[in-house]
Amino acid sequence: MSYCPNTPEQIREMLAVIGKTAVDELFEPIPRGLRAKSFNLPAGVSEQELLVQLQEMAACNRHLINFIGGGYYDHHIPAVVDHLTGRAEFYTAYTPYQPECSQGTLQALFEYQTAICRLTGMEVSNASLYDGGTALAEAAMMALRITGRNRIVIDASVNPFARQIVTTYMKNLAVELVEIPTSSGSADRSALTEALTDDVAAVMVQNPNFFGSIEDLTAIAHAAHAKGALLVTSVYPISLGLIKSPGEMGADIVVGDGQSLGNPLAFGGPSFGFIATTKKYIRNLPGRIIGETIDREGRRGFVLTLQAREQHIKRHKATSNICSNQSLCALRGLIFLAAVGREGLVELAQLNRDKAEYAKDRLGSIKGVRVLNRGATFNEFTLELPRDAAEVVHTLLDKGLAAGMPLGEYYAGMANCMVVTVTERRSRGEIDALADALEAAL
C-alpha cells in the first residue's frame, strides 16, 4: 500500500529519512529566480467565461506549416477514429485482466494484431508496446535471447532517438553494440556485411531510413542469416502502402511507431509501438498476445494467450519488464487502417510520395541546395544547404514555416543538412511557399 503523510509529524518523519528538516529544502536544486514568488490566482470564473478566455489565448498561437518528421508525422486523422475511441467502453478501459469481462477490448486487440501482421508481412504480433524506440530495443532483447549471442550491429541511419533507447537498454548488459556509420544517407552494405561475425545476434536497420532513403534489404537479410543472425527492421507504416513489406525482404523481427496511424502529434505523445515476428519466435515476444478460442458451449471468444511479462510470471523467466501497453492508441491505429482500407492505404502512400517528389524537385533546384539522397525516397528526403541548416530553419520559423529537421546535432559533419518531410496534408502552395522562403533565406 502507498503511504501518504497527513500530519505535520508524519511529514517531519519522512523528511528526516532523507536528511531534510523542512519541505522548502526539497526545492534547493531549483534556482531561486525560477521559483514561484506566490500563487496569487485570480478569482474563480464561470465555465462560459473560462472558455472565452481560453479561446482568446488559443487565438494568439502561431500556426506553422509543418515539414518536420523524424519519426512523428502530420497525417490526416479520419473523424471516425476520434468518435469510436472516445466511446466509454474503450476510452475508460484498462488492461483486460479478466477475459470474460473484456471480450470487446480483446477482440479489438486481436484484430489489431491481425492488421499489423498483414501490414508488415509477418506471422505474429503482440498487443502493442510503448513506442517505436522501445519496440526497437525490445527487438534487440529478443534477438539476444533467441540466438544466445552478445553483439548487436545497428546502422547509423536508424532514427537517432531510437538508437539512444537501444543504447540505454544495453548499457548494463554484457552486450556489444556496434554502430555502422552511414554512407551518403544510406546503409553502408559492405560495412554491415563485414561486421557480421559469428557472435552477432542481429543486424538492425530502418526502411525508409532516417534520411528518407528506401532500400531493398533482401541481400542484408541473406547475409545476416548466413551468419546465424537475425534481421530487425524498423518501418514507417504508411510507407508500406507502396514499398515491399519487410516480411517479403526476409526480416525476422519488424518494429515501428504507430503515431502515423491515427494518433495526433500532441507534443510528441502518446503513441504506440508495434512489433511482429515469425511464429517460431512467438514465445520471445514481449508483452501480451491476444488469442482466439471457443468456450465450453462452442462460442467464439478471446483470451490473453501469452503474457510473458514480469507481472504475470516468474521475474527471471519474463521476456520483458514492460508493465503496460498503449491499447487505446493501438485501437486508434486499427480503426485508422480499417477506415482507410487496403486501397486507401495505397492511395495515401502514393500521395505522400508524389508530393514529396514535387518538393524534392522544387527545393533541389534552388542554387546552392543539393538533394543528398541518391536513390528512391518515400515522403522524406535530405537537403544539403550552403550554410548551417539550424540557422536557416530558425530564420524560416519567423515566416510561419517549420522547414525541416537539422541534422548537425545528431550526425557529425552534417551541420548543413536537414531532413524535409511532406505528408498528404501539405499542399502545392505550401511547398512553393517553402521553396520561395528557403531561396530568399539563402
Is 266 a domain residue? yes
pLDDT of residue 38: 82
69 and 87, same domain (yes or no): no
Helix (H) or strand (E) holding 229: none
Place of cell 531534510: 20
303 and 175, same domain (yes or no): yes
Domain boundary among 277, 306, 336: 336
314 and 359, same domain (yes or no): no
For residue 314, pLDDT beyond 70 = no
The CATH code of the domain that includes 139 is 3.40.640.10
pLDDT of residue 374: 86
Q: Which among 260, 193, 191 is positioned nearest to 231, based on CA atoms?
A: 193
373 and 253, same domain (yes or no): no
Is 314 a domain residue? yes
Domain boundary among 306, 336, 366: 336
pLDDT (tens digit per residue) in 297-306: 999 999 888 7
- Nearest-angstrom CA–CA distance, 145 and 147: 6
264 and 388, same domain (yes or no): no
Q: Which residues pair with 15 in a beta bridge?
A: none
pLDDT of residue 377: 97
pLDDT (tens digit per residue) in 4-28: 666 888 888 889 999 998 888 888 8
384 and 279, same domain (yes or no): no
The answer to whether the Cα torsion of 95, 101, 107, 108 is positive or negative is negative
Domain boundary among 298, 313, 336: 336
167 and 315, same domain (yes or no): yes
DSSP annotation of 268? G
315 and 367, same domain (yes or no): no
pLDDT (tens digit per residue) in 235-285: 999 999 999 999 999 999 999 999 999 999 987 778 999 999 999 999 999
Is 23 a domain residue? no
| The C-alpha cell that represents 122 in the structure block | 509477418
Is 352 a domain residue? yes
The CATH code of the domain that includes 423 is 3.90.1150.10
Angle between helices 103-120 and 327-364 (to 10 degrees): 30
282 and 176, same domain (yes or no): yes
pLDDT of residue 188: 87
103 and 150, same domain (yes or no): yes
pLDDT of residue 413: 92
φ, ψ dihedrals at 96, nearest 5°: -80, 70
pLDDT (tens digit per residue) in 407-431: 999 999 999 999 999 999 999 999 9
pLDDT band at 1 (very low <50, low <70, confident <90, very high): very low
pLDDT of residue 239: 98
- Nearest-angstrom CA–CA distance, 208 and 203: 16
139, 325, 332 from 92: Cα distances, Å: 30, 15, 14
Q: Which among 414, 264, 327 is positioned nearest to 106, based on CA atoms?
A: 327
Max Cα-Cα span within the chain = 73
Is 7 a domain residue? no
Is 21 a domain residue? no
End-to-end CA distance of the chain: 61
For residue 230, pLDDT beyond 80 = yes
pLDDT of residue 261: 98
Q: What is the 3-class SS of 88-133, one letter each residue?
A: HHHHCCCCCCCHHHCHHHHHHHHHHHHHHHHHHCCCEECCCECCHH
pLDDT band at 323 (very low <50, low <70, confident <90, very high): low
| Average pLDDT over every residue of 49-72 | 93
Is 47 a domain residue? no
212 and 99, same domain (yes or no): yes
pLDDT band at 205 (very low <50, low <70, confident <90, very high): very high
Range of the domain at 131: 79-336
List Cβ neighbours of 25 (8 Å cut-off, separation of 6 or more).
15
For residue 126, pLDDT beyond 80 = yes
Angle between helices 132-147 and 160-170 (to 10 degrees): 40
- Nearest-angstrom CA–CA distance, 359 and 425: 13
Place of cell 536513390: 375
192 and 242, same domain (yes or no): yes
Task: Give 391-432 as a DSSP string.
Answer: HHHHHHHTTTEE--EE-TTTSTT-TTEEEEE--TT--HHHHH
| The C-alpha cell that represents 137 in the structure block | 530495443
222: region left, alpha or beta (phi > 0 left; psi from -120 to 50 alpha): alpha
Structural domain count of the chain: 2
| Average pLDDT over every residue of 70-99 | 88
Is 188 a domain residue? yes
